[in-house]
């Protein structure tokens, strides 16, 4: 299945990464069967936010509750690598849930798209853009 993301989500991810610099930003990718239609910025609660991220647990709980109440589904997560490439780091690989969710990793000039598969991250083609 082709990954489809709205232009507004792409702009939001880039803006969040720029706003959080030199720390990592993070948040939740939301949508439906048609693709990623929204992103929910979350507080990075990791004690070392320049090199790590941890999505505020309350933001995750709230997003999953909303999804169970006919809201947008949690399709994945995003975070930035302020000083690195848009690829999963060794920390990302070690701490991933391997739950099949999409990860977007934002760096200064690119966004990498990944599927957190049971056997590790799989790179996704750059998504089709939707208005």
Enzyme catalytic residues: 24
| Phi, then psi, of 103 in degrees rounded to 5 | -120, 135
The pair of structure tokens assigned to 18 is: 């720029």
Cα dist from 33 to 9, 13, 55, 75, 102, whole Å: 16, 20, 24, 9, 13
């Amino acid at each position: 299945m082709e990954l489809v993301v709205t232009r507004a989500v792409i702009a939001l991810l880039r803006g969040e990464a720029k706003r959080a610099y030199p720390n990592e930003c993070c948040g939740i990718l939301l949508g439906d069967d048609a693709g990623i239609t929204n992103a929910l910025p979350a507080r990075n609660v990791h004690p070392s936010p320049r090199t790590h991220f941890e999505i505020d647990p309350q933001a995750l709980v709230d997003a999953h509750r909303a999804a169970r109440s006919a809201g947008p589904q949690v399709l994945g997560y995003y975070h930035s690598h302020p000083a690195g490439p848009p690829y999963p780091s060794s920390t990302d690989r070690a701490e991933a849930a391997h739950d099949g969710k999409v990860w977007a990793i934002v760096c200064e000039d690119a966004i990498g798209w990944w599927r957190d598969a049971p056997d590790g991250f799989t790179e996704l083609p750059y998504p089709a853009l939707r208005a």
